[in-house]
Homo-oligomer: A and B are copies of this chain.
Amino acid sequence: MTANPGVQRVRWMEGGGPAADLVLSSRIRLARNLEDYPFPTLLGPEQGQEIIRLMEGVTEHLSAAGLGRFTLLRMADLSPLDRRVLVEQHLISPQHARNAATGAVILNDDRSISIMVNEEDHLRIQCLLGGLQLHEAWAVATRVDDVIEAHVRYAFDDERGYLTTCPTNLGTGIRASVMVHLPGLVLARQAGRLLSQLGKVGMVVRGLYGEGTEALGNVFQVSNQITLGPSEEELIDNLIGFTRQLLDQERSARERLYRENEDGVKDRVMRAYGLLTNAWTISSEEAIRLLSDLRLGIDLNVLSHVRPEVFNELIVLTRPACLQKLAGKELDARERDLLRARLIRERIAAALRKTTQ
């Protein structure tokens, strides 16, 4: 992994983990609220600041827990650009980025843990790992949850479980999600049907950047909808089960595609590679579409000399805020398209496996 000058290291973007060819990341998010404060919707700015100071104290305990060094960042202290970078890296929500009055985020050094303070709930504990690692992410999130709970009083009801602002999060307060790359199902025109069926079994499907965004680069976020009733482990096993089915179908779709039209698939992949490594200017949409084709080609061994993680890295780094962070200044659309093309050329060149050692 090459360093990202100007953009912090984010663990999930480095790839790796089980089923990393299809699963970009696994995320566990816990919604927690503090007993002694009204829900954020009713919270005044003073109380919001109190919660931030409270969590600032907890940050030290978190750093002592062996999960990396934690830092609390106030939205008010971050530039709008830095906040948008955090959104693009999936570390805070777009709404949270806009909450300069009371918003804060606690991050560990490899960004595998992010705790939003005063988002829709007082605390949103998130653990984000590469590949299909929901149980691992759950274990980490639980440890973070335990450290915090040792120092604050959570709003908890013996019957209803963790109390949350939105009733859909009531109970376990957990949301588990996976980010999956499904170009085979999209190319075979099966993705829409399959993913809409997931809705019937309590799963939600979104695009790469959350609700309302289309599936850029054939990347989908699948998450559990239900939080009340089953235990956390059951919810996670459930999502893992559905994800495995989806992965099987994706693999079958890829095999069939390749078997039925090997030349067509190779052509698609090689053209994407040719354009990505040569284009002088490129839009965000075209880049992510071609990067998806590139990654498919790497997974199918059509392009065996390119390291796959370049996809995970570039689908984030080519977003507008990350680009401007890399440039160290605001860029207009034209400048972004030029820098995006250059960044892609350079990163793919750096991601070539050396043929001689």
A residues sitting closer than 8 Å to B (CB atoms) are 263-264, 266-267, 269-271, 273-281, 334, 338, 341
Q: Residue of B at shortest CB range from A303? A: B278
Q: Residue of B at shortest CB range from A282? A: B267
Contact: A270 with B279, CB < 8 Å? yes
Cα–Cα, bound, A271→B280 (Å): 8
Q: Residue of B at shortest CB range from A334? A: B263
A-B contact pairs, 16 of them (CB 8 A): A263-B280, A263-B281, A263-B334, A263-B338, A266-B280, A266-B281, A267-B279, A267-B281, A267-B341, A270-B278, A270-B279, A271-B274, A271-B275, A271-B280, A273-B278, A274-B275
Given contacts A270-B280, A274-B275, 12 further A-B contacts (CB under 8 A): A263-B280, A263-B281, A264-B281, A266-B280, A267-B279, A267-B281, A269-B280, A271-B274, A271-B278, A271-B280, A273-B278, A274-B278
Residues of B within 8 A of A269 (CB): 280
Least distance between A339 CB and chain B CB atoms (Å): 12
Residues of B within 8 A of A267 (CB): 279-281, 341
Cα–Cα, bound, A275→B281 (Å): 15
Least distance between A348 CB and chain B CB atoms (Å): 11
Least distance between A301 CB and chain B CB atoms (Å): 14
Least distance between A347 CB and chain B CB atoms (Å): 16
Contact: A271 with B263, CB < 8 Å? no
Least distance between A142 CB and chain B CB atoms (Å): 47
Cα–Cα, bound, A263→B266 (Å): 29
Q: Residue of B at shortest CB range from A341? A: B267
Cα–Cα, bound, A167→B280 (Å): 53
Least distance between A73 CB and chain B CB atoms (Å): 36
Cα–Cα, bound, A281→B266 (Å): 9
Least distance between A263 CB and chain B CB atoms (Å): 5
Residues of B within 8 A of A263 (CB): 280-281, 334, 338
5 closest cross-chain pairs (CB), A and B: A274-B278, A274-B274, A267-B280, A266-B280, A270-B278
Cα–Cα, bound, A327→B226 (Å): 62
Least distance between A119 CB and chain B CB atoms (Å): 40
Cα–Cα, bound, A279→B268 (Å): 8
Least distance between A307 CB and chain B CB atoms (Å): 18
Residues of B within 8 A of A279 (CB): 267, 270-271, 274
Cα–Cα, bound, A280→B271 (Å): 8
Least distance between A302 CB and chain B CB atoms (Å): 9
The interface centre, meaning the residue of A271, A280, A341 with most chain B CB atoms within 10 A of its CB, is A280
Least distance between A102 CB and chain B CB atoms (Å): 43
Cα–Cα, bound, A112→B45 (Å): 87
Least distance between A267 CB and chain B CB atoms (Å): 4
The interface centre, meaning the residue of A271, A277, A278, A279 with most chain B CB atoms within 10 A of its CB, is A278
Cα–Cα, bound, A278→B268 (Å): 10
Least distance between A330 CB and chain B CB atoms (Å): 19
Cα–Cα, bound, A264→B341 (Å): 13
Residues of B within 8 A of A275 (CB): 271, 274-275
Least distance between A195 CB and chain B CB atoms (Å): 30
